[in-house]
Amino acid sequence: MASAVPGPSTSAAQAYAMSSGRIPANLTAGKSSMARQAAQDFEAVFLNSMFSQMFTSMDGEGPFGGGQAVGVWRSFLTDEYAKSFAKKGGIGIADHVYRALMEQQEVAPHVAAGAGTK
C-alpha cells in the first residue's frame, strides 16, 4: 500500500492514522472529512445527553424567570455546549469513532470483492 503524505488540512489523528497505515492511501479527502464530521456529531450527541443530565437537577429563577422557558433555553444551551466541546476535541470519543469508521472503509472494498467468490 502506498504511503499517504499528510497535508496542511490534515488533523493530528488523521496524520497518525495515515502514518500507521490505518487509512488507505486511496481514500478520498471527502470520505475522510465526512467520517470526521460524523464522528464529531456522534460525540456531540453523547455530550448533549451528558450535559442534559447534569442540568436536570438545577432549578431556580435564572435569567428567564423559571417555568417552561427555562427548559427550552436549557436544551438549546446544552446542545450548543455539546457542539462546542466536540468541535474543540471533546473527551476523545470522536477520535475513536473516526478510526473505527476509517477501518470499516478499508475493509468494505475487500468484503465486497470477496462476496461473489463462494
Instruction: Classify residue 18: in a domain, yes or no.
Output: no
**Degrees (nearest 5) of the Cα angle 33, 39, 40?**
90
Question: Which domain does 48 fall in, by range?
Answer: 30-56+64-110
Cell of 56: 436536570
Asked if the structure places residue 99 within a domain, the reply is yes
Whether residue 14 lies inside any domain: the answer is no
Q: Is position 15 within any domain?
A: no
- Is pTM beyond 0.75? Reply is no
Q: What is the mean pLDDT of the chain?
A: 73
Q: Tell me: the pLDDT tens digits for 55-88?
A: 877 766 655 556 777 778 888 889 999 999 998 8
Task: Report which of 76, 82, 50 is spatially closest to residue 63, judged by C-alpha positions.
Answer: 76
Q: Name residues whose C-beta falls within 8 Å of residue 38's C-beta, 6 or more positions apart in sequence.
A: 97, 101
Convert the pLDDT of each residue in 28-39 to its tens digit.
667 788 889 999
Count of positions (residues) in the chain? 118
CA 9 to mean position of chain CA atoms: 17
Split into its structural domains, the chain has a count of 1
The verdict on residue 16 lying in a domain is no
